[in-house]
Amino acid sequence: MTAAGIARLAGVGRAAVSNWRRRHADFPKPVGGTETSPAFALRDIEQWLRDQGKLAEVPLRERVWQQLVGHPAGAAAALRQAGAVLLLAHDRPAAWQQLRAAADDAELTGVLPAVLDSVLAARLGPGHPVRGLTREALAPSAALVRATGDLAAADGAAAAYDFLLGRHLDANPRQYTLTPPGPAALMAELAAVAGPSGTVLDPACGAGALLAAARERAAGEGDTGAGAAPVTLYGQEADADLAALTALRLSLGVPAAQVRVRAADTLRADAFPELAADAVLVHPPFNERNWGHDELAYDARWEYGFPARTESELAWVQHALARLREGGTAVLLMPPAAASRRSGRRIRADLLRRGALRAVIALPAGAAPPNGVPLHLWVLRKPGTTPPAPQLLVVDTAELAAGAPAGRDKPDWQTVRATAVEAWRTFDRDGGVEERPGVRRSLAAIDLLDDDVDLAPARHLPPPAAAGGPAELARVRERLTTTLARTTALTPRSDGGAAGPARWPLTTVGELARAGALVLRAGGAGTAPAGGTAPAVLTDHDVIGGGAPSGTLPEAPASGPAEEPVLLQAGDVVVPVLGGGAVARVADDAAAGAALGRNLTLLRPDPAALDPWFLAGFLRGTANNRRASSYASTATRLDVRRLQLPRLPLADQRRYGQRFRDLAAFEGALRLTARLGEQLVQGLHDGLTDGSVAPD
């Protein structure tokens, strides 16, 4: 097990495990892994934790997980076996209990294959991908089988499998490309705005996130009186192991659904050639060259044109349309280049002319892997005998995260979802939408059929800066004038003062921490609780730029509880430790309650011993930062404990603190002046170039 597994076992953060390794000579030695990610023996770790009084008993979940990862056939094969047993316990609990009680290990693994085959065939149909459950394969798994049954009794079969599969996916992030819950739920809602779908297909289903989201949305519609029957979920995945795990995930999911998952390359070997689905949801692999271009030149699916070798995404678009019933809806997560590459312009043009492509929605960066790219959603409708007038809805939700620094982890999905769904519902109902500059617009297809057929939403939306026109620019100018006057009034005097360098006694932050005059905390820990309200995160970019907390906590892994972050209090001093230069910020009431982000150190002074403004002011000294940085340059990592400040009585600290507070107010006014000035200049440029502002 890794350090992360030890932390989960003991209910602590990973930093605590690192401290134990440094401070305790008897801490177990690694038995594998790498220097940066060592692996330890579970038995040794259990014994050490018990000896230290840090563990009473290993939780059943952890025992099952460790048996999975240590299985001789590999974690994926063990997870197939565990999932099949959980499905048996879920569908036929009495038969499972009777079998488990009556048989010893050899008998149990000998009888199980036939029983599991029967359950899997009943739930997943003939040709399902959950293979390899033979007597020989199950022989080493008797302990795993029994422990899995115990876990089903304790947590429920569905929750147990969600935990095990979630832990497996978390442990192998480079092996799988996952669709996050936010985009998955949005895609399911866009595909089914008229009501719950009876049949949903994902031809590149991966771990099944899109099909699970469609099932949950359909069940929600049914609960509200829409009369939804259980949906039938069709999935296809080229990775045979992942197809098997996804089939089990969907079968064990709540609410119930009919599940048909197959393992094969969809474009080369379509498993459902006769299907006419109500909805198709796809997060296809991006930028594939080896998608079957040479073998599939005369395939009947290329109704809108034969995709170029570099346009694999347009092959998936046409496959989705080919598997829809007339009037059915498909939603695909697409790379932004697919909307504008010249090699795909003829196919895009035909999709527009025939009314198949109905909407292109730009998502904020970070919506889904690759997280640095603002992906698009394409919404398509299979034309019927009377196709709609060729119109296209373009929506840009990327600006909803505008202004957030690079450290922000995730976009505001509640706002993104509301904006996209409201625009699509209005467009689908009325055939058009009211234009909102920078956000949404409906366009006639004829206006897009030029040489490029460029469908990127940002290129067809007027900039939001020009939306307010001259009136908004006048308000910005008035604010700028007021702020300039305030900046002049706040300009500090620099004359007078001491004749030479001070010769006062010095102390360090580390000494003050040891004496109890302040508390040191490192940022970066913490996760958002599932379904709960998470605080905003103060990032290092916020501290350096003087902005409000703008980050978000990462979601807690499915395999464990949320980790508590470090929360700010008014009067805390926050220092960037990486590339910030001479920067320190005193948290005010507005920042109180925010979580402390990565690459930040929090200093919480005792108000009876230290004035926070005095502390922050002296920490910003250039010479001070040079002495405390890891190299001569302050752009390198800062050792906060080595920062120095003078030993002064509290009354003298407050005199200095007041002057530092005045400097902070002046600095804030300068920043606001710069922002307002840039806004006014850009607004005037936009207004003059789009005609909303006259040159006189």
Summarised one tens digit per residue, pLDDT across range 301-327 is 999 999 999 999 999 999 999 999 999
Q: What is the pLDDT of residue 225?
A: 43
Q: What is the pLDDT of residue 200?
A: 95
Whole-number Å distance between alpha carbons of 641 and 636: 15
Name the token pair of 406. Answer: 């690079």
Q: Is the pLDDT of residue 613 over 80?
A: yes
Whole-number Å distance between alpha carbons of 618 and 655: 13
Is residue 627 within 8 Å of 644, Cβ to Cβ? yes
Q: What is the pLDDT of residue 237?
A: 96
Q: What is the pLDDT of residue 503?
A: 81
Question: For 239, which DSSP code?
Answer: S
Sole residue written with tokens 């009777």: 98
Q: Predicted confidence band at 164 (pLDDT cuts at 50, 70, 90)?
A: very high
Which of 80, 245, 74 is closest to 148 using CA atoms? 80
**pLDDT, mean of residues 489-502:** 73
Name the token pair of 133. Answer: 């459950």
Whole-number Å distance between alpha carbons of 270 and 532: 41
Is residue 111 within 8 Å of 99, Cβ to Cβ? yes
**Widest Cα–Cα separation across the chain:** 94
Residue 396, CB half-sphere, CA atoms under 13 Å: how many? 20
pLDDT tens column, 431-481: 899 999 889 999 999 999 998 999 999 899 887 655 457 788 888 889 999
Q: How far, in Å, are 61, 168, 375, 405 from residue 133 at the CA level?
A: 22, 19, 40, 50
Whole-number Å distance between alpha carbons of 319 and 339: 17
Q: Which of 141-155, 397-411, 502-516, 654-668 has the lowest mean pLDDT?
A: 397-411
pLDDT tens column, 13-43: 778 888 899 889 999 998 887 877 788 887 7
Kindly give, in sequence order, each residue whose CB lies less than 8 Å from that of residue 392, ignoring residues fewer than 6 positions away. Answer: 352, 357, 358, 359, 360, 442, 443, 445, 448, 455
In DSSP notation, 628-696 reads: HBSSSSTTSBB-GGG-EEE---HHHHHHHHHHHHHHHHHHHHHHHHHHHHHHHHHHHHHHHHHTSS---
Q: Phi-psi category of 113—alpha, beta or left, where left has phi over 0 and alpha has psi -120 to 50?
A: alpha
Name the token pair of 44. Answer: 């040794």
Answer whether 0.85 is exceeded by the pTM.
no
Q: What is the pLDDT of residue 193?
A: 47
As a dihedral over the C-alpha atoms of residue 58, residue 60, residue 62, residue 67, rounded to 10 degrees, the angle is 110
Whole-number Å distance between alpha carbons of 30 and 470: 67
436: which strand partners?
440
Q: How far, in Å, are 483, 677, 679, 682 from residue 477 at the CA level?
A: 10, 8, 9, 12
pLDDT tens column, 506-516: 999 999 999 99
Q: How far, in Å, are 25, 243, 633 from residue 580 at the CA level?
A: 36, 47, 11
Return the higher-pLDDT residue of 4 and 646. 646
Backbone angles phi, psi at 484, to 5 degrees: -60, -40
